[in-house]
Amino acid sequence: MTAGGGVGPGRLVRPYALTGGRTRSVGEDVPFETLVVATAAGTDRAAELPWEQRAIAEMCARPISVAEVGAHLQVPLVIAKVLVGDMCAAGLVDVHRPEPRGERPDLLLLERVLDGLKALS
């Protein structure tokens, strides 16, 4: 659960402690395939944020999916969704949701997310 190559509290902190036990964000629900990018405010305030939000702000200098955020932080997807949703509500990141294409998710986007997750291994 360390971000950025060992930065953070280490494995002693349970993932749900990062969200205060919440499984929902204070903002909107953010799907795992949503692309996230840091705002100017998120970049400017990164140094004063808690380690997990700082790591998210830094990795979101370029667009990255919520699933990739979770993989980089080594936390369950639901925790990544809550953290990103909270940061979006605070104006620290912008989210770019995929265009709705009926009932099925975009296969190309899912393949890109899967390729990104495999590259992390």
8 A C-beta contact, residue 44 and residue 91: no
pLDDT by residue (tens digit) across 26-75? 778 888 888 999 999 999 999 999 988 999 999 999 999 999 999 998 88
Nearest Cα residue to 54 out of 71, 41, 68, 42: 42
Bigger pLDDT: 7 or 90? 90
Mean per-residue pLDDT over the chain, rounded: 80
**Tokens read off for 78:** 């639901």
**What type of residue is 33?**
E
The count of other CB atoms within 10 Å of the CB of residue 113 is 20
Nearest Cα residue to 1 out of 67, 51, 64, 61: 51
